[in-house]
Each structure stands twice: as C-alpha cells, then as structure tokens.
Amino acid sequence: MANVHRVLLAEDNKINQVVAAGALKKLGYVVDIVDGGGDAVAACLHTRFDAVLMDVMMPDMDGYEATSKIRENEAALGTSPVPVIGLSARAMAGDREIALAAGMDDYLTKPLRINELEQTLGRWIQQPADATS
Ligand SMILES: [Mg+2]
C-alpha cells in the first residue's frame, strides 16, 4: 500500500460527500472527509495530503478563505503547496478565475463526473499504482 494517495474532501453537503467519496474510492484514493473550511485548514496542518477537493460554499469558512489560509500556513512553514481543486455547484463565468485567485489550482463543477474527477486529479497527482487492490 506504499503508493496509496490520500485526498482530503472538504464538503458540507452529506449527499455530495457520499458521491465524491465514492468516486474517489473507486479511483483508488484514500479519502479523509471534513465538512467545513476551518476543519480543512486544520487537517492540512497535521496531514500531508496529495490533493484537496474543496467545496467553495461552506457555512463556517468558505473554500476560498480556507484555501487562502492553507497557502498562508504553507508559506509560514515552508512546506510545498498541496494541490487544491475547487468544487462548485455553479458554472458561472469568472468562477474559475476567482478560484485561482484564492490560491486554488483547479476547479470542477458539481455534480461531479468520475471521468472529469479522474482527469483533474491526474493533472496534479500521480495516479495510484493499483486502484483495484
Ligand atoms: Mg457547500
């Protein structure tokens, strides 16, 4: 299990959590789930994730603010930036630019499609060596 990749899913909606976590597990990733931005920031301080899927709309701290704080902590600690992929239910012009300006690396619209999720994660992290074990 040396090649397992760990993804943090930050999503406040329980149904979206189940859908995204199921897709991630199917793609061979180990998934940690938090349901708020503050918890995502804390999780990134104590665990080195291969990527973060970050819902942009969460009640306690939104995904943009959480990503900014993750980037601040990385800069302060001198750790390499974790790839952050924003998740939004909206597909508005300009959303991708807002996500990138907040320090996100990429952006996906919900509902998630597993092939898009696979392609997007594949741009940022090495794929699991064996997704079937
Ligand atoms: Mg949300």
Q: Give the residue-averaged pLDDT of 5-29.
A: 97
| Residue pLDDT, tens place only, 82-120 | 999 999 987 677 888 889 999 999 999 998 999 999 999
26: its two tokens: 């199917």
How many CB atoms sit inside 10 A of residue 10's CB?
30
Q: What is the Cβ-side half-sphere exposure of residue 112, based on CA atoms within 13 angstroms? A: 28
CA 57 – ligand 1 centroid, Å:
4
Domains in the chain and their CATH numbers? Answer: 6-122 (3.40.50.2300)
- Distance in angstroms (rounded) separating the CA atoms of residues 1 and 80: 23
The amino acid at residue 28 is G
CA 129 – ligand 1 centroid, Å:
31
- Distance in angstroms (rounded) separating the CA atoms of residues 82 and 77: 13
Residue 128 has pLDDT above 70, yes or no: no
CA 55 – ligand 1 centroid, Å:
6
**Measured in Å, how far apart are the chain's first and last C-alpha atoms?**
9
